[in-house]
Structure 1
């Protein structure tokens, strides 16, 4: 391998299959980070051209359609099955591992952990067919729950919904769990945006100590809870150190509070180098899906009931992690830490 100015360049002679895998991941990263703002800028630009009618028509459509992201979205199986998502999955590769059957006559809130920098494997499992969700869990329709802000961007919102993304809001979850039949699997990255700031290799800090909204939703709707843990998610990028109390962490916390998006300072590799860029590192990711926790419906659960189910969920998640960690490269002395 050749190094220039400290940057390790990728060899010229790499199989086309691997090139296509890297390209598939790069397009996703750029889309996730920049496509929304790019679409918004294009629409604003068009307002000042002879094509001003395009954003005006879209605005009318958006006003009519704005609630769709909280009403089950508008998935398109053809887009979910694009070949690019198979290349995306094979790049790492990302593997979905079932430990128990989930029956399609129930609804599920799938608690996904950890958040990681960009929740790469959550996207692969819930918003594409790259990891083969429909074959592994036949009869279950996956939904990726994301921040409502994603659906404020023109065109991008439609593209994101086509993969199976919907709002991570109580309105959206309640609709899918009570008014959309059964067989719905809601992929919720429970730790939220702030947990991205805890994404470091070898550390397993999950912001779950006070996360009980999804527990309350499960009780009110009778949806089963299913813990998931994605081994390798924290190794996909390198994040700048940001200990609590540091200037960087204070700025990140402030921005997350007022924008809803966490701003981790991170890097991966590049398309043509292994040192710096926005492409995740080529590291295997194994997402283990636990057994369902049965929940008795209670539309007005008491605080004690919510706390008890929350503790049950944390214990089942911890049990899942401990049972599988050594298979996927986590030392025996590493454990989950539930933080506020």
Structure 2
């Protein structure tokens, strides 16, 4: 394989963009385990005056990710997120106005590998979210285990993410007067294994918890499709029934963690590595589906709204796919 190195005269802005995305990926992959290592070292070397106060705080603060989190505006305003967004680059697109007097659930699709479109558009001050949707506050919901890591949880919450637990979503959607948006990546870890360039397979048919939450709180549902999300990495071929997919599915069933074998480009060369390709990401926010509050929805009501959501998601994809280089014959595949 021929290695293509980046030119020596690469503009400074592009270097900063690469550095911004690299730190984000390294934090995503390693900061959790590193934070545990730091705590272990503090215990082994008996720095009790550091780890005992923090562990006390950790216990006291345990439920914060389920109660709206603890975002810090100055962290969300770091210039690194400007370069992060420009690396791809990514763009948030509104198709319909939303009423700030209501709360909403944005169903984000597809999951992709690291979901940079969800983070960049809903967790940084350099997004157009506030300009496009004035009067709203966005809450990106992520898996609860991410908040089990000491120290790392503080950094994660400072950027805005909160837990995707039932309690975490309910807290956001219970705001009186509206103005809150829950962003839920519906496909979850299972959908990571379907993230191949040119693929549009969504794990949605059995995922109805978000629909029940919408009915319970009377929150309108909004389908969101992030064009380009699956183009950022290549994944070793893993069709259902293959030995690799069998191992991956087993690990996912046991731990809830998806382990895709991915590759893209490197930091100083464009041939291989963990850096995503520079592909445009267009995150399109679709038409809101009005939801009548039903405190104890029946299975029939959940199924009906779920089917309506799927149809709206199909319409959103089909109406916009041609604008972003997707052939007209391509359709969404649901599993």
TM-score by length of 1: 0.96
1:289 aligns with 2:285: yes
* Map 1:24-43 → 2, pairs under 5 A: 24-43=20-39
Query: Is the contact made by 2:214 and 2:221 (CA closer than 8 Å) also made in structure 1?
Result: yes
Query: Is the contact made by 1:22 and 1:91 (CA closer than 8 Å) also made in structure 2?
Result: yes
Question: Structure 2: how far apart are the matches of 1:232 and 1:48?
Answer: 46
Among residues 330, 334, 339, which one is paired with 2:330 in the alignment? 334
Q: What does residue 215 of structure 1 align with?
A: 211
Query: Is the contact made by 1:44 and 1:55 (CA closer than 8 Å) also made in structure 2?
Result: no
Query: Is the contact made by 1:193 and 1:261 (CA closer than 8 Å) also made in structure 2?
Result: yes
What RMSD in Å do the two structures reach over aligned CA positions?
A: 1.1
Runs (5+) with no aligned partner, structure 2:
none
SS in 2 for 1:85: helix
Question: Structure 2: how far apart are the matches of 1:56 and 1:254?
Answer: 37
Question: Structure 2: how far apart are the matches of 1:166 and 1:254?
Answer: 27
Among residues 63, 69, 75, which one is paired with 1:73 in the alignment? 69
Among residues 74, 95, 99, which one is paired with 1:99 in the alignment? 95
1:152 aligns with 2:172: no
Name segments (4+ residues, structure 1) moved above 3 Å.
Answer: none
State the Cα distance separating 1:132 from its structure 2 match. 2.3
Among residues 248, 257, 264, which one is paired with 1:261 in the alignment? 257
Query: Is the contact made by 2:172 and 2:181 (CA closer than 8 Å) also made in structure 1?
Result: no
Question: Structure 2: how far apart are the matches of 1:337 and 1:83?
Answer: 38
Question: Structure 1: how far apart are the matches of 2:23 and 2:264?
Answer: 14
* Map 1:242-321 → 2, pairs under 5 A: 242-321=238-317
1:201 aligns with 2:197: yes
State the Cα distance separating 1:72 from its structure 2 match. 0.4
Among residues 93, 116, 126, which one is paired with 1:130 in the alignment? 126
SS in 1 for 2:27: helix
Structure 1 residues 180 and 269: CA distance shift in structure 2, 3 A: farther
State the Cα distance separating 1:157 from its structure 2 match. 0.5
Higher mean alpha-carbon deviation, 319-328 vs 127-136, is at 127-136
State the Cα distance separating 1:264 from its structure 2 match. 0.8
Q: What does residue 55 of structure 1 align with?
A: 51
State the Cα distance separating 1:179 from its structure 2 match. 4.5
Query: Is the contact made by 1:88 and 1:130 (CA closer than 8 Å) also made in structure 2?
Result: no
Paired residue total: 335
Structure 1 residues 89 and 259: CA distance shift in structure 2, 3 A: same
SS in 2 for 1:110: strand
Deviations 1:145-174 (A, max 9, x none): 000000000111011111110011111111
Among residues 217, 226, 229, which one is paired with 2:225 in the alignment? 229
Question: Structure 1: how far apart are the matches of 2:185 and 2:130?
Answer: 20
State the Cα distance separating 1:257 from its structure 2 match. 1.8
Query: Is the contact made by 2:223 and 2:285 (CA closer than 8 Å) also made in structure 1?
Result: yes
Question: Structure 2: how far apart are the matches of 1:208 and 1:69?
Answer: 25
SS in 2 for 1:274: coil
TM-score by length of 2: 0.98
Question: Structure 2: how far apart are the matches of 1:29 and 1:307?
Answer: 37
Deviations 1:204-239 (A, max 9, x none): 000011111000110011001000000000000111
